[in-house]
Structure 1
Amino acid sequence: MSSAEPTTDQVDRTDRLTPAEVAEVLAMARLAGDTDGADPFDEHTLLRLRDPQAPAAHLTAHAADGTLTGYAHLDTTDPASGVGVELVVRPGFRRRGTGRALAQGVLAAATGPVRAWAHGDHPSAAALAVDLGLTRARVLWQFRRPLAEPVPAPRLPTGVTLRSFRPGEDDADWLALNARAFAEHPEQGRWTMDDLRTRLAEPWFDPAGFLLAVDPSDGRLLGFHWTKVHERPGAARIGEVYVVGVDPAAHGGGLGRALTTAGLAYLRDRRGLDRVMLYVDESNTAAVSLYERLGFARWCGHVNYHLG
């Protein structure tokens, strides 16, 4: 990706991919993820790729024989705040200028600021970002821990109980809690009902692993731990601390820690998993400290680059 030589690949732009093209892009992304140890697309991009109605621009690169050699996804939902970009180059076709050609196509197509994720913080991506004038703006760490090691018993604040999420009943209350818990977060706090229901319809969704902390006196939701299990043919299963949130009014009582350990116990004891991962912003020092105290260690980093 960092090569300065011009590629001979043909780069094209479209606003709509066919189902066959989507399948080809996803297959290339899986190959790149297996090669690099970090998937090139986050969940948001994967969901949008599978949704033909999602507003996006797509850049594809093909070799002379028709092989798909690279792809860039441009999320154009909110151009005023920036075009979200994720890019992948097929292993075996790297260092030929394909990544640079796709990145230059992204900059030419973007009508506002650009926010590009480099998953795995690959050196080639960093070098290309510098060459194109993008600045390193945000780092998202992936942490992991083995579940064979002891998991602290959850200690809920006095009077707080745990129960599972009830689809169709808890949706609106959970969205309101999520917005309060992540009011300052650039993505999570902006979830809509469509965002929630899209994920509730995903094959991995497990209501029993979506834990809610409740005030039994009035049924008010105080916090949550939504777990997820990643299953891919040929790969080991791994759990995820998908998202943990606590109402700001309930901060300071240890609820976040209790919810986290309750979810870890669920993934180990109910789902039979032996390892778990999570994502946390480098700037969220309180969360980083909590996860390190709970036995998590850094696995890899994902970097968000900005231009404009």
Structure 2
Amino acid sequence: MTNNDLHPVFDFSEVGKQVLQTEREGLAQLDQYINDDFNRACEKMFKCTGKVIVMGMGKSGHVGRKMAATFASTGTPAFFVHPGEASHGDLGMVSKQDVVILISNSGESHEILALIPVLKRQSITLICLTANPESSMGKAADVHICVSVPQEACPLGLAPTTSTTAVMVMGDALAVALLQARGFTTEDFALSHPGGALGRKLLLRVSDIMHTGSEIPHISRDASLRDALLEITRKNLGMTVICNDLMKIEGIFTDGDLRRIFDMGVNVNEAKITDVMTTGGIRVRPSLLAVDALNIMQERHITCVMVADGDQLLGVLHMHDMLRAGVV
């Protein structure tokens, strides 16, 4: 039974800091285990023509699920199989082309040991992560990665704390090493994260959200400044493009330009747009990632940009379009 009476001078913060210190010291010990065994494990997973299957019981199982998810999202096809379920049919998910990672701090998990003879019979590569190379799992492994820590953060030395953190970090080290070896890119990453803000930032292109056709604010070079102001108001994008009948860009005029010409004392009713427009103008290609277009707009301190192929106007992109699409 636990005691629910709180000691009047108990310091939660101090205990929390002690836990962090213990786990930091444990992680500092991991460098020695990034060795030839680590390299061999990476090579076997890199050359694997099947999938990486991760197994673990209890807290090791929770860490194993995270490890498999990290592999899968960074270019190494992987999934988690519960050892108990594996003994009752799920082992059929594992093929000879796969690599199996087995996790157990003691290296003596009965549920996992029961599976090893079957896996060995199929000549499946076994990578074991334990704290004891001389354990049953350590001796059975094709590659054993030692993940041993001086002590658990739990004062009783019972609850897996530092040890599970260390295994999770070792899993991250394996995943990132493989990611870099494969030349995994941000676009590759986006393909496995199509949902949410991350996918939108990495997959969405300018062509997906730009204004096209009749939504594009544009006038001819013969137009007056007054015509430009009316077009800016109608299309509500804070700018208009000056182009010919074939939509060839000649210049741009923005509401920022309008503020500047007021300071110059220009007569709005008499001025021609060619007298006040900016020749050329900043433009982006429709195939550009929306997040890259956003970076250009922020660097140039502009809220709208032309989308073009050379001088051919194709559309207009506004900062508000980025906001609506969730890119910002």
TM-score (structure 1 length as normaliser): 0.25
Point out the structure with max Rg over C-alpha: 2
Report 1 or 2 for greater relative contact order, CA contacts < 8 Å, sequence distance ≥ 6: 1
TM-score (structure 2 length as normaliser): 0.24
Larger relative helix fraction:
2
